[in-house]
Structure 1
Amino acid sequence: MLRFPSLLKGLSDEALRDLRLSSLEYANLHGILKYTPELELVSLQHTLLPSPFPSKSFQRAVLLQKDFNILYQKVAADHNFLVTTLKPTRSSNIFDLILLFSLKKIKLSLSRSDYMLHLDNATPQEMASRQFTECAMLKQVEYNLIASSFGGIMERLVQQHQLTLSVLGHHSDNQLPPCPSATGFGRAIVQAVGEYCKLLQSLALSIDKQPAVLIVISSHETNVFDQRSIELAVLQLNPNIKILRRTFADLSKISKRVQCDNNHRLFV
């Protein structure tokens, strides 16, 4: 983390303790939580204050995001390109093979793009200085299409940071803009369900059973509250959408709970 002059400087031990406690209890109140592998409910680790990040680099990342989304969408829709590119891995990576033949008419991407600041040959002292943010370059670390977690919780964590900064007398939307990630993910899912229903109608297929959103989770899921945040956003926009949470075991052949009809519709 960049070591800028701390906003906490000058606070008494008691004031700092109260601030930390209010932050922790706000997190618990608003579902910034997780389960441990032993299924104990604990607060999700988070910083008391947001990490400093240069405004220009942030705005550049925002401007780039739509272009990245379009690029990956076009790549994902180019079947011939994918077959040629993934051919060397098809024999050893069954997951890629399954994805390759799962192309559908309606596609929804919920992605997360990760960035870091980079400066060639920077010393620890340079990285801790203000000059670092002025000279460092924005570098994309990865573009997550599967492990795109924390879109649900992040919306409320930003609200918590905004509140903490306000208590310290330093908040403005210009410095820490809202992050409606859960709301945006929920809106996208609702729109995808609507498009799916239109597709069924155009194909003259029966929609006597309510289409549902299937969320596949692990048997000992720890990131429940992040996922539930997006579910809540979906239901607030359209409470008629059914959401199913199923483990891989629930969907196995042995369970006999999954059927696929001749039109490739999945029934769970």
Structure 2
Amino acid sequence: MKMSQARLASCIPVPMDQKALVGVIEKAKDWALMHGVGMRDKKHFTKDSIQIAPFVLLPSPFPRTEFTKAVELQQVLNELMHKVAHDEEFLETTLQNALQVDEFTASLYDIWVTVRKEGIVQSVSLGLFRSDYLMQEPDNNKIKQVEFNTVAASFGAISSNLPAMSRYVLRQLGHGDLIKNMPENKALSGLCGGITEAYDLFGVPGAVILFVVEEVSYNICDQRFHEFQISETRPEIVIYRRTLNEIYEESALNDKKQLILEGKPVAVVYYRSGYEPAQYPSSREWDARLRVERSTAIKCPSIQYQLAGTKKVQQALAAPGVLEKFMGGGASTGRVRDIFTGLYSLDFDDGGERAVEMALADAERFVLKPQREGGGNNLYGADVREALLRMRHSRERAAYILMERILPPLVSGYVVRPGGPVPPPLCDLVSELGIFGVIIGTKEKILCNRQVGHMLRTKLADANEGGVAAGLGALDSPYLLDL
């Protein structure tokens, strides 16, 4: 794809002197390993070692005004998604076409319907959310929302260590004066504070916290840091890690509808798995998910929060009049609308037909997105055209949305990867900002709502996807620019 050629200048001049570059990369790699900026090796998996997570050597420039805007909007977006999740009629209407063709979303939806019929026994939900943005270069580098993550929003923990690493690198290169332009990041303590606050609301002494994890956790540092932080700040709280299959085998509901694990009631269930179809290989995992939803445990996310995070909802919120329905008029509605890019339904109606025609005419302008979290699922460019031609008359197309492609500015930089060349080549990069939010509440009342930190994921300019865990992006820190 031909990218627009606008650029932001790197925080220090590049290319760097070869000798200085090799020296500082060696220091940075050791810093990363010793501070848990790491992941397990997918190719040679062992529980006895971690390797560095891919990272960008120099912090990437980001306009201060847009960073501040994203931070200030997070509480507004938290509340918006909370309201959406508790509007049964809106979720039903918005998802109805996708449910007919998307088995995974339909299975989540069925659980939601079941627990509502039986009567929801835990009205409190915990959301650890992340709203992701790219700068839109044709629009003066204003931020545009890529997506809103309501389940297993990752890298809050490792990202909290990134500014310290970038500060170390800048000092080693003799640019300590630049450190003042790097915002502090307290994502880890903020996210863990949300979990312990929900635990206290549950109010049962001796209750435990349950992390739902994959069969194999590659992103182990990011998950464990949450456990270590809670253990440090609240030593009395016991945390269990279980897969959905283990929850099926080892947990039960008692007569009070408490979820019991190893004889103890579970206060909070925090999902770091359960967001994609491959994580439910059999009916046992779905049964486990239903059991958790039926229980009094506070879920992060509750099933309705997860449904609110689907791409269909994102697209529906961009339609005229919908934000006003949830937020009223006023300035904050305009501010939220301002971060939306073009989002279009592919339902079988006039709007859907127009969207298909538009994308076939200029496929490079669009991204085709299914109802999935976790990266690696979207289609770009020629693939958009091919998929739409294939699905044009099939109900399957209703499971996707069409989104205008965001064209961010380029920055020259160095990506350090495990096993990669030293020194790495100077590459064109683009950065995606994620802002973390915590919300706790019931349908009637929001008990806690705050913005708690950020992450920056940076990828090669010609790579479509940017997931770090998927091996495509690299962890980074923002260097704030006054443009």
Q: Same fold (TM over 0.5)?
A: yes
Structure 2 portions without partners, runs of 5+: 1-5, 262-483
CA distance in 1, matches of 2:179, 2:125: 33
* Match runs of 1:134-173 below 5 Å: 135-167=140-172, 168-172=174-178
SS of structure 2 residue aligned to 1:111: strand
Question: 2:150 is aligned with what amino acid?
Answer: L
Shift in Å at residue 56 of structure 1? 1.0
Shift in Å at residue 99 of structure 1? 4.3
Match of 2:464 in 1: none
* Match runs of 1:145-224 below 5 Å: 145-167=150-172, 168-172=174-178, 174-197=180-203, 207=205, 210-224=206-220
Aligned residues: 242
Match of 1:235 in 2: 231
Contact kept? 1:34, 1:224, Cα under 8 Å: yes
**1:47 is aligned to 2:53:** no
SS of structure 1 residue aligned to 2:51: strand
Match of 1:247 in 2: 243
CA distance in 2, matches of 1:10, 1:42: 26
Q: Which structure dedicates a bigger proportion of its chain to strand?
A: 2
The CA RMSD over aligned residues, in Å, is 2.4
Shift in Å at residue 230 of structure 1? 1.3
SS of structure 1 residue aligned to 2:196: helix
**1:71 is aligned to 2:87:** no
Contact kept? 2:10, 2:60, Cα under 8 Å: no
Kindly tell me: are residues 99 and 44 of structure 1, through their superposed partners in 2, closer, same or farther at Cα, counting changes over 3 Å?
A: farther
Contact kept? 1:31, 1:225, Cα under 8 Å: yes
Higher RCO (CA < 8 A, seq sep 6+): 2
Kindly tell me: are residues 212 and 90 of structure 1, through their superposed partners in 2, closer, same or farther at Cα, counting changes over 3 Å?
A: farther
Cα deviations by residue, 1:55-75 (Å, 9 ceiling, x for unpaired): 111111111111001111122
SS of structure 1 residue aligned to 2:62: coil
Cα deviations by residue, 1:226-265 (Å, 9 ceiling, x for unpaired): 011111221222011111101122122xx2x110113221
Match of 2:389 in 1: none
Shift in Å at residue 9 of structure 1? 4.3
**1:13 is aligned to 2:18:** yes
Kindly tell me: are residues 248 and 29 of structure 1, through their superposed partners in 2, closer, same or farther at Cα, counting changes over 3 Å?
A: same
- Which is further off, 21-30 or 173-182? 173-182
CA distance in 2, matches of 1:24, 1:145: 32
2:129 pairs with one of 111, 116, 119: 111
Kindly tell me: are residues 119 and 16 of structure 1, through their superposed partners in 2, closer, same or farther at Cα, counting changes over 3 Å?
A: closer
Shift in Å at residue 17 of structure 1? 1.3
Match of 1:57 in 2: 66
Contact kept? 1:90, 1:97, Cα under 8 Å: no
SS of structure 2 residue aligned to 1:155: helix
SS of structure 1 residue aligned to 2:76: helix
Match of 1:203 in 2: none
Match of 2:111 in 1: 98
- Which is further off, 144-153 or 164-173? 164-173
CA distance in 1, matches of 2:88, 2:11: 52
Kindly tell me: are residues 6 and 106 of structure 1, through their superposed partners in 2, closer, same or farther at Cα, counting changes over 3 Å?
A: closer
Kindly tell me: are residues 67 and 171 of structure 1, through their superposed partners in 2, closer, same or farther at Cα, counting changes over 3 Å?
A: farther
Question: 2:199 is aligned with what amino acid?
Answer: V
Kindly tell me: are residues 236 and 99 of structure 1, through their superposed partners in 2, closer, same or farther at Cα, counting changes over 3 Å?
A: farther
Match of 1:129 in 2: none
SS of structure 2 residue aligned to 1:249: helix
Contact kept? 2:215, 2:243, Cα under 8 Å: yes
SS of structure 2 residue aligned to 1:153: helix
2:256 pairs with one of 243, 252, 263: 263
Kindly tell me: are residues 228 and 8 of structure 1, through their superposed partners in 2, closer, same or farther at Cα, counting changes over 3 Å?
A: farther
Contact kept? 1:187, 1:237, Cα under 8 Å: no
SS of structure 2 residue aligned to 1:263: coil
Shift in Å at residue 4 of structure 1? 1.4
Contact kept? 2:128, 2:153, Cα under 8 Å: yes
SS of structure 2 residue aligned to 1:117: strand
Contact kept? 2:11, 2:60, Cα under 8 Å: no
